[in-house]
Structure 1
Amino acid sequence: MNEGPGTRAPRPHKPLPFAPADFEPFAGGTDPARVSEAAHLAARALVRGGRESNDPAITKRLVKLADRQGLEAIAEMWAASPARSLPGALWRLYALRAATLQDPEGISIFFRAGQHRAQVANAVAGVAEPPGAEEITTMADAILSGAFDGDFDVALERSAAFCRVVALGQATVAVERKAAHPEHAQVLNQKAHQLVRTAEDLEGAAASWRKGELD
Structure 2
Amino acid sequence: MHYGSGSVIPSRSAGFTNTGSPRPARPGQLDQMMADNIAGGADPAQINEMSHASAAALLDRVHHTQDAELVERVLTLVDREGVDVIAELWSRSEPDSLPGILWRLYVLRTWMRKNRESIARLWRVGEPVATTASAIAGVDQAPTEDDIAHTADSILAGAFTGDFAIALERAAAFTDVVALGLRIEARNMTSRLEARNSEAVQAESSDAAKKQARTKAARLMHTAGNLFVTAKDFRHGANLWRRGKLE
User: Which residue is equivalent to 1:5?
Assistant: none
Deviation at 1:71, TM superposition (A): 5.3
Structure 1 segments unaligned to the other structure (5+ residues): 1-11, 15-20, 53-62
Matched, 1:208 2:240: yes
Give the AA of the match of 1:139. Answer: S
- In 2 relative to 1, CA 44–210 (structure 1 residues): closer, same or farther, beyond 3 Å? same
Larger mean CA deviation between 87-96 and 131-140 belongs to: 131-140
Deviation at 1:182, TM superposition (A): 1.6
RMSD: 3.6
Query: Normalization by structure 2: what TM-score?
Result: 0.62
- In 2 relative to 1, CA 143–118 (structure 1 residues): closer, same or farther, beyond 3 Å? closer
Matched, 1:166 2:178: yes
How far apart are the structure 1 equivalents of 2:35 and 2:57? 17
Deviation at 1:128, TM superposition (A): 6.4
Structure 2 segments unaligned to the other structure (5+ residues): 1-15, 19-31, 65-73, 140-147, 194-209
Deviations 1:55-82 (A, max 9, x none): xxxxxxxx8xx69x71521243111001
User: Which residue is equivalent to 2:94?
Assistant: 82
CA contact (8 A) 1:78 1:87 kept: yes
CA contact (8 A) 1:164 1:199 kept: yes
The residue matched to 2:95 in structure 1 has which SS?
coil
Query: Normalization by structure 1: what TM-score?
Result: 0.71
Is the radius of gyration larger for structure 1 or structure 2?
Answer: 2
Deviation at 1:29, TM superposition (A): 7.1
User: Which residue is equivalent to 2:28?
Assistant: none
- In 2 relative to 1, CA 71–50 (structure 1 residues): closer, same or farther, beyond 3 Å? farther
Matched, 1:182 2:214: yes
Deviations 1:87-123 (A, max 9, x none): 110111112112112211111111111112774xx8x
Aligned length: 182
Deviation at 1:158, TM superposition (A): 0.5
Matched, 1:129 2:144: no
5 Å-filtered alignment, 1:27-106, equals 30-49=42-61, 70=81, 72=83, 73-106=85-118
- In 2 relative to 1, CA 24–169 (structure 1 residues): closer, same or farther, beyond 3 Å? closer
User: Which residue is equivalent to 1:23?
Assistant: 34
Matched, 1:149 2:190: no
How far apart are the structure 2 equivalents of 1:195 and 1:143? 21
The residue matched to 1:48 in structure 2 has which SS?
helix
Give the AA of the match of 1:112. Answer: R
CA contact (8 A) 2:63 2:161 kept: no
How far apart are the structure 1 equivalents of 2:219 and 2:237? 27
How far apart are the structure 1 equivalents of 2:151 and 2:58? 17
